[in-house]
A = this chain, B = another copy of it.
């Protein structure tokens, strides 16, 4: 019987659970709303019920060897504790691993969701071509998440907090970021940043079809609506998306100079707008990158995005199993 892992992608909005084998095949899948506002006890209770339910419903069919969870950061893999995760308000200093382990009698791995995504992409996605050994992954959504593979290994840092490219300052006099820092990539290119920027411009009287699209309720404008308006030829929306692209280009140059990767992969809700951003991204890179790096790094959009965190989380389990066998 093929070995399988129950894999969980725990987001601020949705929690997805899948049964995954070591070939990256997702056999069963369920999901529920996170409903983080109901409090961490409620989330954990429903999460455990969902996992137990999944376990029960497939144990006849598949050999389940463990549970892997991809969770939003900052999460300390050593202590199993969250540090003020922006997408899970109220979870600061929450001893998550202890609680999960108390309720589930099965080997458990927990990993940062951006690290799960980069592993998924490296093993089953854009990095599946075995020649690639250095890959950076950026999720562009409400925030900017990131992960990196260096010489075939996951970059974790001394306490598992690396990398946070979203909180790299590229404009020291720029807008304040949710993290408290100033001019971070996330404060300039995320969905939140894009909506904030265009709301300000429309509030100042700039013309845009978004005015009608949101029924003059400016605060309801989100990044998807900006993308839609831009696709329909709205000049203000397009200029804001281009500006975000320029800023992303500057951040990518920092990543290229720091890591010298072969490929940078984009995921997340905003990656749909990447086509519109690409000219300004590329122009910024070509102006700023050092000569030896000109036209060397591939930029691609993830093709396995829907399952990428589930796949990555499960891979950690299979990898650990392989290493145990070798030792």
Contact = CB atoms under 8 A, between A and B. Distances in A.
Given A172-B170, A172-B171, A289 B181 contact: yes
Interface string A159-203: 111111101111111100001111000000000000000000000
A263 B257 CA distance: 21
A208 interface: no
A96 interface: no
Contacts of A172: 170-171, 174, 247, 250
| Interface SS majority for chain A | loop
A121 to B, nearest CB: 16
Determine how many copies of this chain the complex contains: 2
A182 B246 CA distance: 13
A258 interface: yes
Contact of A169 (B161, B170, B181, B259): B170
Contacts of A235: none
Contacts of A160: 260
A224 interface: no
Contacts of A250: 169, 172
A228 interface: no
A169 to B, nearest CB: 5
Contact of A151 (B153, B163, B258, B288): B153
A219 to B, nearest CB: 27
A247 to B, nearest CB: 7
Contacts of A260: 156-163
Contacts of A204: none
Nearest to A291: B84
Contacts of A253: 169, 181
Contact of A163 (B76, B162, B258): B258
Nearest to A82: B292
A259 B163 contact: yes
B157 A134 contact: yes
Contacts of A165: 257-258
For the complex of A and B, 3 pairs with smallest distance between CB atoms? A157-B260, A83-B292, A162-B260
Given A83-B292, A172-B250, 5 more contacts: A83-B291, A161-B292, A162-B259, A163-B257, A182-B288
